[in-house]
Amino acid sequence: MKKLTKVAIQGIKASFHEEAAFKFFGKDIQTIECNSFKQTCDVLAAGEADYVVMAIENSIAGSLLPNYTLIREYNFAVTGEVYLGIQLHLMALPGVKIEDVKYVTSHPIAIRQCIDFFDEFPHLKIVESVDTAACAKKIKEEQLTDTVAVANAMAAELYGLDIIERRIESNKKNYTRFLILKNDKAENPGIINKASICFQVGNHVGALSEVLNIFAKQDVNLSKIQSMPVLGKRNDYYFYVDMEWSDIAKYDEAIRRSLKYTVNFNIMGEYEKNDKV
């Protein structure tokens, strides 16, 4: 019997994290439900999962900054990425109408992404939760006729709810980027044309631009730069950078040269670009 790949996700079955895991690995996997992003990391560190699928940014809500810290502190390897188009639906028990509902429940980011829709229903009280799919599951299990959930179509199907309003997200080009993490930092087989790195620079004029210019001169495209303060150290920052290239030799040269101008330099992962939504 084939051993299934174990993938830790934040949330429960039919969550967006499980949907992203299916998109990257296919459906022939075993997903491990976790209550928090830290728990997914603990599961991976303990060897109870082969991979973690972790959201890192949303096109509307922005970056999930604490997740950068988790990846760095656990020293996991970024081994891939997947972009998922986020389609949010309003769902309830069969027969429930929106005019009869008092509460709407979902993850706070999902609620924020649908704020234009809820402005039209000021009578609805918002109840925040840790997971979109868990809200749908609770409505089913507790037979809540006064509550609607915001989640994906997988959740509606799995928990037997009716979708009463489709695509209620404010921006229809809404997507989330997820990183695929593993414990082993061994070299990634296959195509390598993207990397995620982390470093610090000195606190003086031009310190960061010196590093960025090195990559520019080697034709390495910096697709994202994210800064985060170093805990307890004023004016010290970690810089998290995603980069892409067409010539790996130029990337290798840029990395070699940038080491001279950085401290705590860490290649978090080298992998294949996968930005199709």
Domain at 76, CATH number = 3.40.190.10
**pLDDT at res. 34:** 97
Task: Please tell me the predicted confidence (pLDDT) of residue 237.
Answer: 94
Q: Find out whether 135 and 90 touch, Cβ atoms under 8 Å.
A: no
What is the CATH classification number for the domain harbouring 266?
A: 3.30.70.260
Same domain, 47 and 111: no
Structure tokens given for 76: 């996991």
- Residues 266, 200: one domain? yes
Q: In terms of C-beta density within 10 A (0-12 exposed, 13-18 middle, 19 or more buried), how is residue 149 classed? A: buried
178 in the same domain as 62: yes
- The reported pTM is 0.93
In this prediction, residue 234 carries a pLDDT of: 83
**Is residue 201 located within the same domain as residue 254?**
yes
Q: What stretches of 103-247 show up as alpha helix (H) in DSSP?
A: 108-112, 115-118, 132-142, 153-158, 207-217
In a domain, 142, yes or no: yes
pLDDT bucket at 199, cuts 50 / 70 / 90: very high
Task: Please write the tens of the pLDDT for every residue from 123-164.
Answer: 999 999 989 999 999 999 999 999 999 999 999 999 999 999
Task: Provide the token pair at 201.
Answer: 């620079």
Output the CA torsion 203→205→210→216 (10° steps): 120
> Is 102:125 a contact under the CB 8 Å cutoff?
yes
Q: What is the mean pLDDT of the chain?
A: 95
Closest CA to 160 of 86, 92, 90: 92
Where do we find the tokens 């429940």?
105
Q: Is there a domain that residue 25 lies in?
A: yes
Query: Which of the listed residues 154, 182, 210 is the one where a domain comes to its end?
Result: 182
Q: Do 158 and 229 fall into the same domain?
A: no
Specify the residue for token string 């995620």: 196
Residues 31, 102: one domain? no
Of 147, 182, 217, the last residue of a domain is 182
Identify whether residues 37 and 71 lie together within a single domain: yes
pLDDT range class, residue 233, cuts 50, 70, 90? confident
- The reported pLDDT for the residue numbered 36 is 94
Taking the C-alpha atoms of residue 121 and residue 54, their distance in angstroms, rounded to an integer, is: 32
Q: Are 118 and 149 in contact (CB under 8 A)?
A: no
Does residue 103 form part of some domain?
Answer: yes
Kindly give the residue spans of alpha helices, DSSP state H, lying in 7-131. 16-25, 37-45, 65-74, 108-112, 115-118
Q: Which helix (H) or strand (E) holds 55?
A: strand 51-58
Q: Is the pLDDT assigned to residue 240 strictly greater than 90?
A: yes
Same domain (yes/no): 14, 141:
no
Asked if 99 and 148 count as a contact pair (C-beta separation under 8 A), the reply is no
**Residue 114 maps to a domain:** yes
Is 276 within a domain? Answer: no
Q: Average of pLDDT values for 241-263? A: 97
- For residue 11, tell me if it sits in a domain: yes
Q: Are residues 78 and 178 in the same domain?
A: yes
76 and 148 share one domain = no
Q: How far is CA 160 from the centre of its chain?
A: 26
Q: How many domains does the chain have?
A: 3
Instruction: Report yes or no on 187 lying in a domain.
Output: no
Q: What's the domain range around 207?
A: 194-270
